[in-house]
Amino acid sequence: MERLEKQEQIDFLKGVFGSAESIVLASVQGLNAAEVSSLRRQLHQAGVGFKVIKNKLARIAADSTPVKSLFEDFANSTAIAWSDTDAVAPAKVLVKYQENLEKFEIKAGYNAGMRLDLAKVKMFASLPGLDELRAQLLGALNAVPAKLLAQINAPASHVVGVVQARIEKDKE
């Protein structure tokens, strides 16, 4: 690599390290091109960035950022998965991929200023995603007015029930 290319990579990684909601490091060692392409496709569908990186450049980029806690994990062949919007998306996709392909290795993760080991990355992946949280929030917001409306309408429906019973009794 030329010096200019290296500096571009360092700048790119600094940008990722500074803006990402979460980062997961994985090893692509032992994976063939088809397996890596499949992983890239799944990550892209989830809106997650993915790039195989040079460890030395990653260490240089991480040195001046909070991601410095991942310094020791930049070893062997390393790929980085990150998301700027959904914090659990990279972990979800990579953990699911690891379940299907045992030789795939997740090294570590990073979120909210903390380094996550493999167990924490798996726990993080079990959390609901951004879309699931939005659906839960909308459900909770919708439930309150629905219950309020049911309480407001309850006396009227009771009156209607009494009137209906009286009409049926009068018919007999």
Q: Are residues 100 and 155 in the same domain?
A: no
* Distance between CA atoms of residues 99 and 110, nearest Å: 20
Q: Are residues 100 and 159 in the same domain?
A: no
* Distance between CA atoms of residues 100 and 81, nearest Å: 18
CATH number, position 56 = 3.30.70.1730
Q: Are residues 35 and 70 in the same domain?
A: yes
3-state secondary structure of 53: strand
- pLDDT above 70 (res 163): yes
Token pair of 123 as six digits: 């726990």
Q: Are residues 50 and 11 in the same domain?
A: yes
- The whole-number pLDDT of residue 25 equals 94
Token pair of 108 as six digits: 């570590």
Query: What is the percent of the chain with per-residue pLDDT over 90, rounded to a whole number?
Result: 37
* Distance between CA atoms of residues 100 and 95, nearest Å: 9
Domain count, the chain: 2
Mean pLDDT for 33-47 is 93
3-state secondary structure of 79: strand
Instruction: Please list the helix, strand and coil fractions of the chain in percent, rounded to the nearest 5, in that order.
Output: 65, 15, 20
pTM of the model: 0.73
- The whole-number pLDDT of residue 141 equals 79
Condensed to tens digits (0 to 9), the pLDDT of residues 115-139 reads 999 999 999 888 887 778 788 888 8
Find the domain containing 138 and state its range: 128-172
* Rounded (10°) angle between helices 118-125 and 89-100: 110
- pLDDT above 70 (res 99): yes
- The whole-number pLDDT of residue 160 equals 73
CA 58 to mean position of chain CA atoms: 22
- The whole-number pLDDT of residue 1 equals 67
CB 66 within 8 Å of CB 59 = no
Condensed to tens digits (0 to 9), the pLDDT of residues 48-90 reads 999 999 999 999 998 878 888 888 888 888 999 999 888 899 9
Mean pLDDT for 101-124 is 89
Q: Are residues 112 and 147 in the same domain?
A: no
